[in-house]
């Protein structure tokens, strides 16, 4: 049995991650062009999203294919936002940095703005696994009721409304309006369109009625956005929220080894597809936060055995 302390194990894992990254950068010098790579990924993702939307608009692909492709594309923009929060790209060029932050928010309109998320995400790294971790609790971590957890995972706004009173009592400094307003105007528009389209079709089902031309045009545009942006992000965020709330521990966390476990189970593959393999790689991020997401992907297979050797759990899917 290993005699190493938790601190020594953590140091060994961090050292291995950094060494593997350095080795990768030596073998592939292009990886040192971090800003350029990030910008290329963002523009490729943005134009790919516009592209699948255009194909759908001209009936060249069906709605279901547009939704799946858009969900995968927007999962990449989430990883970019995550790195931008840690100031991995253009940190000394605020105009470009903030342009990228705005772009990835527009591609993922059902989240709070990335500038506010930076605050709660950096706090997450300090208090992960405790009741003070607002970021994880907003997506379902720590909820015992399967039904309530499912609601929170699928609908962030409804989850915020349901848990607001509880959060006010348990989380220091929590203010409902601060979180709610962090979504204005992008997230506000997202939920207005989502609930508006749902309400329209419910009313039409109960009591059909004819819209004026301008009303029909608004509904047509809203339904287009549902296919290209809103439903894809529902799938993306639901997958991500399910995976992240499953892999982050809640309660009893005293060090980095206990904050997360690695999810490699085949049962999670459909969800991993829409959150860019988050469950397999995110634990690496907890040990070395300042590392581009594509580096984590490239080194994960070599790092996973080292994490397992030093006590990081895998597929610990206890109820």
Output DSSP code: residue 210: P
Tokens of 240: 């991500």
Question: What's the gap between Cα 184 and its chain centre?
Answer: 18
Cβ neighbour number for residue 38 with a 10 Å cutoff: 22
Q: What are phi and psi of 314, to 5 degrees?
A: -125, 135
- Residue 1: the pLDDT is 42
What's the whole-number mean pLDDT along residues 35-58?
98
What's the whole-number mean pLDDT along residues 168-194?
97
Q: Is 50 exceeded by the pLDDT of residue 312?
A: yes
Q: Is 60 exceeded by the pLDDT of residue 86?
A: yes
Alpha-carbon gap, residue 246 to 319, rounded angstroms: 9
Cβ neighbour number for residue 307 with a 10 Å cutoff: 24
Q: Is 60 exceeded by the pLDDT of residue 319?
A: no
- Residue 274: the pLDDT is 98
- Residue 318: the pLDDT is 77
- Residue 264: the pLDDT is 97
Give the model's confidence band at 2: pLDDT under 50 very low, under 70 low, under 90 confident, else very high: low
- Residue 3: the pLDDT is 81
* Chain mean pLDDT for the chain: 96
What's the whole-number mean pLDDT along residues 243-264?
96
Residue pair 259/248 in contact by the 8 Å Cβ criterion: yes
């Amino acid at each position: 049995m290993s005699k190493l302390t938790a601190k020594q194990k953590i140091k060994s894992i961090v050292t291995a991650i950094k060494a593997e990254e350095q080795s990768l950068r030596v073998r592939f010098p292009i990886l040192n062009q971090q800003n350029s790579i990030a910008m290329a990924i963002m523009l490729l993702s943005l134009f790919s999203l516009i592209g699948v939307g255009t194909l759908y608009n001209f009936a060249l692909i069906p709605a279901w294919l547009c939704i799946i492709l858009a969900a995968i594309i927007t999962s990449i923009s989430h990883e970019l936002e995550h790195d931008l929060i840690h100031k991995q790209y253009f940190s000394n060029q605020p105009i470009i940095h903030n342009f990228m932050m705005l772009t990835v928010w527009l591609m993922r309109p059902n989240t709070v703005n990335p500038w506010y998320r930076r605050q709660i995400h950096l706090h997450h790294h300090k208090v992960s696994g405790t009741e003070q971790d607002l970021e994880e609790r907003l997506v379902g971590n720590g909820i015992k009721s399967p039904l309530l957890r499912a609601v929170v995972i699928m609908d962030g706004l409804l989850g915020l409304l349901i848990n607001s009173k509880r959060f006010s009592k348990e989380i220091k400094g929590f203010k409902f309006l601060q979180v709610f307003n962090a979504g204005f105007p992008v997230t506000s528009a997202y939920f207005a369109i989502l609930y508006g389209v749902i309400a329209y079709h419910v009313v039409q089902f109960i009591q059909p009625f004819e819209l004026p031309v301008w009303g029909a045009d608004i509904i047509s545009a809203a339904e287009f956005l549902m296919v290209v942006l809103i439903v894809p992000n529902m799938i993306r965020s639901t997958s991500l929220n399910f995976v992240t709330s499953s892999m982050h521990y809640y309660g009893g966390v005293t060090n980095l080894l206990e904050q997360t476990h690695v999810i490699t189970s085949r049962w999670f593959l459909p969800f991993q597809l829409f959150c860019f393999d988050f469950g397999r790689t995110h634990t690496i991020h907890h040990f070395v936060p300042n590392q581009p997401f594509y580096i984590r992907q490239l080194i994960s297979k070599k790092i996973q055995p080292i994490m397992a050797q030093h006590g990081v759990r895998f597929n610990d899917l206890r109820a």
